[in-house]
Amino acid sequence: MSTSYIPYQPDQQYLLPCALQEWLPQGHLAYFISDTVDNLDLNAFHARYAGGGSRNQPFHPAMMVKVLVYAYATGVFSSRKIAKKLYEDVAFRVLAADNFPAHRTIRDFRALHLKEFTDLFVQVVRLAREMGLVKLGTIAVDGTKIKANASRHKAMSYGRMQTAEAELKAQIAALLKKASNTDEAEKNEPDLDIPAEIERRQARLAAIAAAKARLEERQRQSDVQRGRTPDDERKPKDKDGHPKGGKPYQRDFGVPAPKAQDSFTDPEARIMKRAGGGFDYSYNAQTAVDETAHIIVAAEVVNTSSDVQQLPMVLKAVTQNTGASAAQVLADAGYRSESVMAELAISNPDTELVIALGREGKVLAKPRDAQRYPHTVAMAAKFETDQGKKDYRKRKWIAEPPNGWIKSVLGFRQFSMRGLQKTKAEFKLVCMALNLRRMSDMQAC
């Protein structure tokens, strides 16, 4: 007796077309993203194509937004991979409704609408608040380093720039001299396209000169913050210009250290230490996470490795995104600063700060000068109480999981775009996608 199988007929043709809505199970993330995007204000996206006429038929912005957001929510960031998914992945085909934009179209749409995606992040945060997933009772702030779209091998130190600049100038001078020689003198020389060689070296020289100028300007700004002036003759002076004690400065005003580096591919990225050791060109991504459902209510990016001055910026973003201030803010010792706490006491008087003064398990000297460091002394006293310790213990499980999800679940470890403003927009797109995943999961609970 032959075995009876469930019918399998791969060549079977459908009499009527299938409904896209039947291709995925109910409650699928793609449906949630589709319904959410349909309820967001996309007028800013449509405005770019207004007045194009009937013959100009771009892809529908709602479709493009849904595809991009779902791609980021499922860890697909490359425009080429997204274009491939539109053919191979059922969820992508459902969202695109059998539209197949090319990878260049996807790439250009993302690049052209950076501000619009930034505004969508705010809309999603406010939607989460309306759903009761953001209550702003307690938020935790944390920073994480994300690799820039820049290679360490396409960078140069200031000392090497000075050497390379001199070498290129000598080579250009030699080529110009060679070009002025007669054909007879060059007949035994190997073929060489001298104008092209001169142009290539001049382009390289211009790139090095621009990188040197960026490093020098960056150093001048750093020296000004330290209280230096161009005429200080390397001698420390007070704010009134009078000499004060201390070792003389090692370099003149505005002269970078020989080891200071600049990237040719992304000049706004900075060398930062990465977890596990080593250094990469990176950006410092800052997140503020609400306690209720781990929704990211603020997502900012800076190109300084230190977190110490970032708290006012992040809390300002929280207020702008949600329309309210948090009742309590938790932050680790990287945000410790007397001046920052004094500033926040004025700008956010109703927000309770719980900022660690040192790493857990480390015994640190307690501040005692209450006149000079009143906020630091008060914070130390707060951590002596059981309530202060209990509040701070929540920071790790509120702030750190979203950063882990971004890197380990979504797989977002490197920016696709270059430049500080573009990376800010891309990080908001990532955080918006993660928020929608969280909102979908919480709705299913």
Lowest mean pLDDT among 153-157, 227-231, 350-354, 409-413: 153-157
Same domain, 367 and 430: yes
Last residue of a domain, one of 214, 238, 263: 263
What DSSP string runs through 45-58? Answer: HHHTTTT--TT--P
pLDDT over 70 at 181, yes or no: no
What is the rounded CA–CA span in Å between residue 294 and residue 438? Answer: 8
Instruction: Identify the pLDDT of residue 285.
Output: 95
Same domain, 33 and 166: no
pLDDT over 90 at 120, yes or no: yes
Radius of gyration for the alpha carbons in the chain, expressed in angstroms and rounded: 28
Does residue 5 lie in a domain region?
A: no
Same domain, 372 and 418: yes
Same domain, 436 and 306: yes
Same domain, 31 and 59: yes
Average pLDDT over residues 141-146: 94
Those residues whose C-beta lies under 8 Å from the C-beta of residue 152, and which sit 6 or more positions away, are 279, 280, 281
CATH number for the domain harbouring residue 324:
3.30.420.10
- Residue 296: which region, alpha, beta or left (left: phi > 0; alpha: psi -120 to 50)? beta
Q: For residue 116, which amino acid is it?
A: E
Residue-wise pLDDT tens digits, 377-400: 888 889 889 998 899 999 999 999
What is the rounded CA–CA span in Å between residue 121 and residue 135? Answer: 17
Does residue 142 lie in a domain region?
A: yes
Q: The whole model's pTM is what?
A: 0.84
What is the rounded CA–CA span in Å between residue 423 and residue 286? Answer: 12
Does residue 357 lie in a domain region?
A: yes
- 151 pLDDT tier (thresholds 50, 70, 90): confident
Same domain, 307 and 440: yes
Last residue of a domain, one of 215, 243, 263: 263
Residue-wise pLDDT tens digits, 47-66: 888 876 566 678 999 999 99
Same domain, 70 and 208: no
Take residue 415 and report the two structure tokens written for it: 């920016």
Take residue 233 and report the two structure tokens written for it: 């003759």
Does residue 323 lie in a domain region?
A: yes
Q: Domain total for the chain?
A: 3
Nearest to 374 by CA among 331, 338, 328, 332: 338
- 428 pLDDT tier (thresholds 50, 70, 90): very high
Residue-wise pLDDT tens digits, 64-94: 999 999 999 999 999 999 999 999 999 999 9
Same domain, 71 and 144: no
Take residue 394 and report the two structure tokens written for it: 């929540």
Take residue 187 and report the two structure tokens written for it: 């007949």
> Which burial class, exposed, middle or buried, applies to 177 when counting CB atoms under 10 A from its CB (0-12, 13-18, 19+)?
exposed
Q: Which helix (H) or strand (E) holds 279?
A: strand 279-290
- Length in residues, the chain: 445
Same domain, 193 and 247: yes
> Which burial class, exposed, middle or buried, applies to 414 when counting CB atoms under 10 A from its CB (0-12, 13-18, 19+)?
middle
Same domain, 335 and 375: yes
Does residue 412 lie in a domain region?
A: yes
Does residue 12 lie in a domain region?
A: no
Same domain, 299 and 378: yes
Q: Which residues sit opposite 262 in a β-bridge?
A: 156
What is the rounded CA–CA span in Å between residue 377 and residue 365? Answer: 11
Same domain, 213 and 295: no
State the Cα angle at 234 between 229 and 239, rounded to 5°.
40
pLDDT over 90 at 402, yes or no: yes
Does residue 70 lie in a domain region?
A: yes
Pairing between strand 352-355 and 296-302? unpaired
pLDDT over 70 at 362, yes or no: no
Last residue of a domain, one of 263, 279, 295: 263
Does residue 208 lie in a domain region?
A: yes
Instruction: Identify the pLDDT of residue 310.
Output: 93
Q: Residues 402, 90: contact at Cβ < 8 Å? A: no
What is the rounded CA–CA span in Å between residue 69 and residue 44? Answer: 16
Domain that holds residue 295: 131-150+268-444
